[in-house]
Amino acid sequence: MKEIVKREGLEWIKAFALGMIIFVFIRIFFFSNYVVEGESMLPTLEDGNKVVVNKLGYETENLERFDVIVFHANEEEDFVKRVIGLPGDKVEYREDMLFINGKQVKETFLKHYREQSPGSYLTGDFTLEDLTGVERVPEGKLFVLGDNRLGSWDSRQFGFISEEQVVGKVNLRYWPLEEMDVSF
């Protein structure tokens, strides 16, 4: 009887250890937790929100306009921003309206800010050429903006980001619990 209990205990320890190894492997290679710092993504994401970033289920060529991503801004910091311009895109803002390749594109996620600031512009007029010296987003690059256009440090200031800088796509906000969400 003692031998059976000992064997069963050993099996439980092996199962637990294997489970921990699988958990760590998934955590390192597939998903990461991030804590949002700052106000550049307000009202979509707030300072202190906790999000899960999918590192595997995306490929940079599968990123879509308006995806919220995390990327390495430098060796110590990661930023959360929204993809606005994809490789080959011509990006322009005129009278607070986004134009991609000459066609107006609605930014429904800015509705909250626009309602709070009737009659004023959230995003100043610019073209990519004004900001970066090139007319289109180069291959392997992305143009990103924060949702808090009046208080975001983004591609308007630091230029394009490289696709290699992208950590992953934000798939879930899980904290605070009452604001849990999967669509941004």
Q: Which amino acid is at 15?
A: A
For 32, the 3-state DSSP assignment is strand
Instruction: Select which of 2, 32, 55, 81 is catalytic.
Output: 81
Enter the tokens of residue 35.
């804590």
Of 138, 149, 63, the C-alpha closest to 107 is 149
70 residue type, one letter: V
User: Does the annotation mark 81 as catalytic?
Assistant: yes
Among 2, 32, 40, 50, the active-site one is 40
Write the burial class of residue 82 (CB in 10 Å: 0-12 exposed, 13-18 middle, 19+ buried).
buried
8 A C-beta contact, residue 115 and residue 101: no
- Determine the Cα–Cα distance for residues 128 and 141; give it in Å rounded to an integer: 13
Sheet holding 103-105, edge to edge: 103-105, 97-100, 91-94, 126-127
- End-to-end CA distance of the chain, in Å? 57
Residues designated catalytic: 40, 81
